[in-house]
Amino acid sequence: MKKILLILAVSLLLAATAFAGKSYVVSVTQIVEHPALDAMRNGVADRLKEKGIDVTFNVHIAQGNSATNVQIIGQIMGEQPDVVLAIATPGAQAAAQKIHDRPIVFTGVTDPVDAGLVKDLQNSDGKNVTGMSDFSPMDKHVALIQEIVPSTKTIGVIYNAGEPNSVALVSALRENVAKAGLSLEEATIANSSGVYQAAKSLIGRCDVVYIPTDNTAISALESAIKVCTQSQVPLIVGDVDSVARGAIAAVAVDYYKMGLQTGDMVAKILVDGVKPSDMPIEFLNDLKLHVNKKAAISMGVTLPESTISRAAKIIE
């Protein structure tokens, strides 16, 4: 019996030693840099570090350029990583179309089924792709707008019609706006430089401007903030990280926490050898309300005490 226990102890020690000396490469494709996407990337890195997994990250940012987004995949294929981490829909789609011999883990993808990444949320098609969805609760977003600006009759939305995630979000927004008895004005953009003019075009046509988790629009959020501040039109957003940048409020997932949970998925693939096809799509249902008092004042809004009292984070 002692001999068996000794053999078992030695085996465990050897396994631990082998794990300690193992290093991995994770190649990251990210469509743009902005706080929400960066928070997910940082969350993944922190979770893997917390687990003691030695990982080298090769980070590639497309800066919102579609051609660069595709070129990055060629670079990643040359790196031969252990896992491809695709942050947001455009990078995930480009990776899934070209890379078939490496595990792909996406995060921050609004509708992975509609984006063609997986057949269904159970991930039953046997592909090398899995990950996390951040589909926004549009009913709660519309309700928040009505709570903060009760006189709202028309909502203006800015989004990139070339981003599949944004198309899905605005489709859901239309349904919920109609259910609430409101109307919707849309301003589409092709790149981040169009955000300022899109915001200007909505002034006089809406009571509130709303920006969903659109990567292109959020990367140039300051342009919309400038217009809304000058015009005294409230700006509500779809991600909490944008509230600290100057939007009035958002109720959404914590993208850093989403990164931590995505990191757990990456760890299962790297260390436990789990196949992406055996991992259903995951969600983070822990919604948080963030409000920015200073932004509200600058845009001519008085935040209701009921809103402030239930906020997880208040920016003075």
Looking at residue 122, its pLDDT comes to 95
Residues 144 and 166 in one domain: yes
CB 289 within 8 A of CB 140: no
The residue assigned the tokens 């939305």 is 157
Q: Tell me, yes or no, whether 129 lies in a domain.
A: yes
CB 214 within 8 A of CB 98: no
Residues 156 and 183 in one domain: yes
Residues 63 and 122 in one domain: yes
pLDDT digits (tens, 9 = 90+) for 85-135: 999 999 999 999 999 999 999 999 999 999 999 999 999 899 999 999 999
Q: Is the pLDDT of residue 8 over 90?
A: no
Residues 6 or more apart whose Cβ sits within 8 Å of residue 217: 158, 159, 160, 166, 189, 192, 195, 198, 211, 224
Residues 124 and 181 in one domain: no
Q: Is the pLDDT of residue 19 over 90?
A: no
Q: What mean pLDDT is predicted for residues 176-186?
A: 98
Q: Is the pLDDT of residue 6 over 90?
A: no
Q: From residue 147, how far is each of 154, 172, 232 by CA, in Å?
A: 14, 19, 18
Radius of gyration of the chain from its Cα atoms, rounded to whole angstroms = 22
Count of C-beta atoms within a 10 Å radius of residue 171: 12
pLDDT digits (tens, 9 = 90+) for 25-78: 999 999 999 999 999 999 999 999 999 999 999 999 999 999 999 999 999 999
pTM: 0.82
Distance CA 67, CA 53 (A): 33
CB 135 within 8 A of CB 294: no
Q: DSSP assignment, residue 108?
A: E
Q: What is the dihedral of CA 111, 113, 117, 120, to 10 degrees?
A: 130
Q: Is the pLDDT of residue 15 over 60?
A: no
Q: Tell me, yes or no, whether 197 lies in a domain.
A: yes
pLDDT digits (tens, 9 = 90+) for 266-291: 999 999 999 999 999 999 978 999 99
Q: Tell me, yes or no, whether 235 lies in a domain.
A: yes
Q: From residue 63, how far is each of 43, 72, 91, 135, 158 by CA, in Å?
A: 20, 11, 11, 23, 19
Residues 192 and 300 in one domain: yes
State the CATH number of the domain containing residue 123.
3.40.50.2300
Structural domain containing residue 238 = 138-252+288-315
Residues 185 and 309 in one domain: yes
Distance CA 61, CA 81 (A): 17
What is the average pLDDT score of the chain? 93
Overall domain count for the chain: 2
pLDDT digits (tens, 9 = 90+) for 290-306: 999 999 999 999 999 99
Residues 106 and 188 in one domain: no
Query: Do β-strands 313-315 and 287-292 pair in parallel, antiparallel, or remain unpaired?
Result: parallel
Looking at residue 206, its pLDDT comes to 98
Looking at residue 286, its pLDDT comes to 84
CA terminus-to-terminus distance, the chain: 66
What DSSP line would sit under 230-274, residue for residue?
A: HHT--EEESSGGGTTTT-SEEEEE-HHHHHHHHHHHHHHHHTT--
CB 208 within 8 A of CB 179: no
Residues 36 and 182 in one domain: no
Residues 269 and 292 in one domain: no
User: If we measure between CA atoms, which residue out of 223, 139, 141, 144 comes closest to residue 187?
Assistant: 223
